């Protein structure tokens, strides 16, 4: 089968799994025994000797063991690598909560957990260290760690992480699209912990009614800023709008395809928006909301796209700025979410070590603990019950409405020829090089090989 066919089949599998994930549930609590007992965080905060001490290494905090070095690590110890992107610093309330949760587990279960803060990505990042360390220092590798979707796929392909059996984890409380982020070729490798979803914000003083559809955006006439560049194949906002319009990227038989009518619909919106100066070629220079947030903060832009993590951070740092949330505008009534996140993965194949790792995972995934810690970190939790702990935060209800939506498939599941053709058509229209109809026809010809 060609790579196009394989990716198209994977996309069809993604679609089916989104509906099936809600019934893939059951047994983490029974698998982990008393480790999953619900204990309010305030009920267990003993003062224990820290499992690790910390030292600064570059731009990340890298804990080092306080005990004398030994040749063979204690097999009963659970080693957890925690990404620095989810660790704001030793003096933060979030860091104190994290260490409290780990210490509470150690106290109640009489087990030792070593928590190491590791760079999230790049050289020295978690995935890179797993890849190199599994060869030169396998005994120093973690039992449990957190990876984003992109790194999880690479780690699974390199056999650096272990599949997670359905009987191990009860997923009925996890947002269904989030479970899909942990799957690779239909196999569950990751359990979602912290989520990030894209949405729009607008100034209600300038835009009195929320722009739910692309026609609303045209009617309002205000510039719309969003990251239009494509780090992997195709811009995910454009892909979401095409799919929401009814477009396909694979046939029922698994062949890569594009549908003309929905593609023309979305491209025609950008053609009109370009003429009205609602969008422009400069959007292709944006890769994150941080590049244009200052324009929104200064009142020079009234409608922008932003991810939930960035929005919560901006809200905390600039509380005086008035911003109203709304989903990303779609072609009609159908809306898809754009989702990413951090997944728990297990690197050990040893059944006893896996059981101990899942015990720690169950503890950290308790609704109170996950909800409180991630609220302090400004990152959305993967469980509905954990998000309910944000009840006093008006953002929680809006976020839940997005997390319940069907999600755009991860870009690694989109065939490369489809992604390239969609992005080229999108860019051709944004740059004013082609009309919507011509760009759509060229994109379809590029994928199918027929004019």
pLDDT value, residue 50: 32
* 450 confidence band (pLDDT: 50, 70, 90): confident
Radius of gyration of the chain (CA): 23
CA–CA distances in Å: residue 105 to residues 45, 115, 169, 341: 9, 12, 19, 24
Do residues 8 and 124 share a domain?
yes
pLDDT value, residue 25: 36
- Residue 303: inside a domain, yes or no? yes
Q: Which residue has the tokens 């590049």?
A: 291
Please give the angle made by the CA atoms of 141, 146 and 147, to the nearest 5 degrees. 100
| pLDDT tops 50 at residue 68 | no
Q: Going by C-beta distance under 8 Å and a sequence separation of 6 or more, which residues neighbour residue 353?
A: 75, 78, 143
pLDDT value, residue 451: 67
What digits encode the pLDDT tens for the residues 167-180? Answer: 776 778 999 999 99
What digits encode the pLDDT tens for the residues 203-216? Answer: 999 999 999 999 99
What digits encode the pLDDT tens for the residues 27-39? Answer: 343 333 333 222 2
| pLDDT tops 50 at residue 19 | no
| pLDDT tops 80 at residue 3 | no
pLDDT value, residue 35: 33
What share of the chain in percent tops pLDDT 70? 82
What digits encode the pLDDT tens for the residues 351-373? Answer: 999 999 999 999 999 999 999 99
- Lowest-pLDDT choice from 29-43, 84-98, 344-358, 430-444: 29-43
Do residues 303 and 356 share a domain?
no
pLDDT value, residue 76: 81
pLDDT value, residue 37: 27
pLDDT value, residue 287: 95
What digits encode the pLDDT tens for the residues 37-53? Answer: 222 222 233 222 233 33
Average pLDDT over residues 329-350: 95
Do residues 84 and 57 share a domain?
yes
Do residues 260 and 271 share a domain?
yes
- Residue 255: inside a domain, yes or no? yes
pLDDT value, residue 129: 95
| pLDDT tops 70 at residue 55 | no
Average pLDDT over residues 174-193: 94
pLDDT value, residue 153: 97
Do residues 416 and 391 share a domain?
no
Do residues 374 and 412 share a domain?
no
Do residues 60 and 181 share a domain?
yes
d(CA 195, CA 177): 11
- Residue 402: inside a domain, yes or no? no
- Residue 49: inside a domain, yes or no? yes
Mean pLDDT of the chain: 86
| pLDDT tops 50 at residue 57 | no
What share of the chain in percent tops pLDDT 90? 74
pLDDT value, residue 437: 98
pLDDT value, residue 171: 74
d(CA 67, CA 69): 6
* 5 confidence band (pLDDT: 50, 70, 90): low
| pLDDT tops 70 at residue 26 | no
Range of the domain at 384: 3-195+341-396
What digits encode the pLDDT tens for the residues 217-261? Answer: 999 999 999 999 997 899 999 999 999 999 999 999 989 999 999
- Residue 403: inside a domain, yes or no? no
- Residue 158: inside a domain, yes or no? yes
Do residues 80 and 227 share a domain?
no
Up-side HSE of residue 22: CA atoms within 13 Å toward CB? 9
pLDDT value, residue 322: 87
* 282 confidence band (pLDDT: 50, 70, 90): very high
Do residues 381 and 345 share a domain?
yes
Closest CA to 376 of 422, 319, 313: 313
Residues, the chain, total?
451
* 11 confidence band (pLDDT: 50, 70, 90): low
- Residue 117: inside a domain, yes or no? yes
Q: Which residue has the tokens 């959007």?
A: 283
Do residues 235 and 217 share a domain?
yes
- Residue 210: inside a domain, yes or no? yes
Q: What is the CATH number of the domain that holds 146?
A: 3.40.190.10
Query: Could you give the number of structural domains in the chain?
Result: 2
Do residues 221 and 324 share a domain?
yes
Do residues 319 and 376 share a domain?
no
């Amino acid at each position: 089968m060609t790579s196009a066919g394989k990716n198209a089949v994977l996309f069809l599998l993604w679609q089916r799994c989104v509906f099936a994930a809600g019934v893939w549930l059951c047994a983490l609590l029974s698998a982990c025994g008393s480790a999953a007992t619900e204990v309010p965080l305030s009920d267990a905060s003993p003062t224990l000797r820290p499992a690790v001490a910390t030292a600064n290494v570059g731009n990340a905090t890298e804990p080092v063991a306080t005990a004398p070095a030994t040749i063979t690590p204690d097999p009963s110890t659970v080693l957890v690598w925690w990404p620095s992107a989810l660790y704001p610093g030793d003096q933060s309330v979030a860091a104190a909560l994290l260490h409290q949760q780990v210490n509470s587990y150690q106290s109640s279960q009489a087990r030792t957990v070593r928590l190491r803060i590791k760079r999230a990505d790049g050289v020295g990042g978690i995935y890179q260290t797993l890849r190199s360390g599994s060869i030169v220092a396998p005994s120093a590798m973690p039992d449990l760690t957190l990876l984003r979707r992109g790194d999880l796929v690479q780690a699974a392909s390199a056999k650096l992480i272990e599949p997670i059996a359905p009987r191990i984890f009860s997923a009925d409380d996890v947002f269904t699209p989030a479970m899909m982020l942990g799957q690779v070729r239909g196999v569950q490798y990751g359990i979602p912990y912290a989520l990030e979803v894209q949405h729009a914000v607008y100034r209600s003083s300038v835009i009195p009614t929320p722009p739910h559809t692309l026609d609303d955006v045209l009617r309002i006439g205000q510039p719309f800023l969003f990251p239009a560049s494509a780090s992997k194949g195709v811009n995910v906002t454009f892909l979401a709008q095409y799919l929401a319009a009814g477009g396909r990227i694979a046939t029922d038989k698994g062949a890569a395809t594009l549908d003309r009518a929905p593609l023309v619909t979305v491209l025609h919106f950008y053609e009109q928006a370009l003429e009205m100066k609602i969008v422009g070629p400069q959007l292709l220079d944006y890769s994150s909301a941080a590049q244009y947030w200052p324009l929104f903060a200064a009142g020079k832009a009234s409608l922008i796209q932003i991810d939930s993590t960035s929005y919560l951070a901006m809200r905390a740092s600039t509380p005086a700025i008035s911003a109203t949330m709304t989903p990303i505008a779609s072609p009609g009534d159908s809306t898809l979410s754009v989702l990413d996140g951090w997944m728990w993965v297990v690197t050990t194949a040893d059944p006893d070590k896996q059981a101990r790792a899942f015990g720690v995972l169950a503890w950290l995934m308790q609704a109170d603990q996950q909800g409180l810690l991630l609220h302090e970190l400004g990152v959305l939790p993967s469980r509905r019950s954990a998000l309910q702990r944000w009840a006093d935060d008006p953002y929680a209800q809006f976020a839940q409405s997005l997390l319940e939506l069907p999600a755009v498939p991860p870009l690694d599941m989109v065939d490369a020829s489809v992604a390239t053709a969609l992005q080229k058509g999108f860019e051709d229209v944004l740059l004013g090089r082609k009309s919507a109809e011509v760009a759509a026809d060229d994109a379809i010809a590029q994928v199918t090989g027929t004019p």
